[in-house]
Amino acid sequence: MANHGYERGRLDLPFVGISTFGKRPYQPDWSALDADVAILGAPYDAGTQWRAGARFGPRGVREASTLFSFGHAGAYDHEDDAVYLPGDVNIVDIGDADIVHTDTEQSHANIETGVRAILDAGALPVVIGGDHSINIPCIRAFDGQGDFHILQIDAHLDFVDERHGVRHGHGNPMRRAAEQDYVTGMTQVGIRNVSSTAREGYDDARAMGSDIISVRQARAMGTLGVLGHVPDGARLYVTIDIDAFCPSIAPGTGTPSHGGFLYYEVLELLQAAAKRHEIIGIDLVEVAPDYDPTGSTSILAAQVLLNFLGFIFHARGA
């Protein structure tokens, strides 16, 4: 068969092949991880209180991420005069945690197992949800990993203690995280409009160490003003709910909330956080592709994650 001049291997355009995250290698053996970053899908959405569909988030974000699969040797950013994610940053995709329909505890336990495997391998866990309840097993997996602060970028506070017996839905994760003695506090950014948490939840959050910042407050204080709420030297876990963004650019989510962030507001916050803090874990949740036929929400999620990873490893190298 003629190779049409491609002596150096296959062209492997984004729309060709299997959709791993960024078309990085697939590693199904969680006991044999050897990587700087491991991507785990958590396709669980039974914690939602309105529109489901985030179970397809990992698949949608992976497919969208192939758009950015050209730069295995790094991506040059002319604004920063920097090459992000050069070839020596080893990213692997370890597939999805096994989800057991109707069984929250077993599904969450399987997600926790995946995150623990990543941490045991010394890699940075990046978990793609799924609804925001998947943050609960992610944070549980950090037991024994030392103290850290949480930066939450989200429209909703997610600090409900219990509602009708439910403690592990997508309105509960930040409350469950705050209960862990190794979580030293939270900076909750983007919180706005009618939230998933009643007033007493806000009082409880502040009493348990949270700073709560709306979109308008974040704009008024600027990126460094927001990060001024994060203690100096704190190790940082970052949880990003895609509904933090305005649904004008991210409609593909179950609980959209108008008045959200635009792209660079979040990107610059993540870049500054990567420069100032050790990032120990990331999850990105609530992408529900079926509500966005254009695919732009999934593309936004993939772009945010890849850029954030670029910032993290550039800062580590510096």
Q: Is residue 192 part of a domain?
A: no
**Domain count within the chain:** 1
Residue 7's pLDDT is 54
**pLDDT, mean of residues 267-273:** 98
Of all residues in the chain, the percent with pLDDT exceeding 90 is 88
Encode pLDDT of 103-138 as tens digits. Answer: 999 999 999 999 999 999 999 999 999 999 999 999
Nearest to 36 by CA among 91, 106, 78, 84: 91
Has residue 101 been placed in a domain? yes
Domain range for 48: 21-146+235-317
| Residue 6 pLDDT level (bands cut at 50, 70, 90) | very low
Can you give the CATH number for the domain in which 295 is found?
A: 3.40.800.10
Three-state DSSP string of the chain = CCCCCCCCCCCCCCCCCCCCHHHCCECCCHHHCCCCEEEEEECCCCCCCCCCCHHHHHHHHHHHHHHHCCCCCCEEECCCCEEECCCCCCEEEEEECCCCCCCHHHHHHHHHHHHHHHHHCCCEEEEEECCHHHHHHHHHCCCCCCCEEEEEECCCCCCCCCECCECCCCCCHHHHHHCCCCEEEEEEECCCCCCCCCHHHHHHHHHCCEEEECHHHHHHHHHHHHHCCCCCCCCEEEEEEHHHECCCCCCCECCCCCCCECHHHHHHHHHHHHHHCCEEEEEEECECHHHCCCCHHHHHHHHHHHHHHHHHHHHHHC
At 73-93, the pLDDT tens digits run 788 999 999 999 998 999 999
Indicate whether 1 pLDDT > 70.
no
Chain-wide mean pLDDT for the chain?
94
The answer to the question of residue 264 being in a domain is yes
> pLDDT at residue 194 above 90?
no
Instruction: Please report whether residue 167 resides in a domain.
Output: no
Tell me the pTM. 0.95
Whether 277 is in a domain gets the answer: yes
Q: Is residue 151 part of a domain?
A: no
pLDDT digits (tens, 9 = 90+) for 30-54: 999 999 999 999 999 999 999 999 9
- Is 209 a member of any domain? no
Whether residue 68 lies inside any domain: the answer is yes
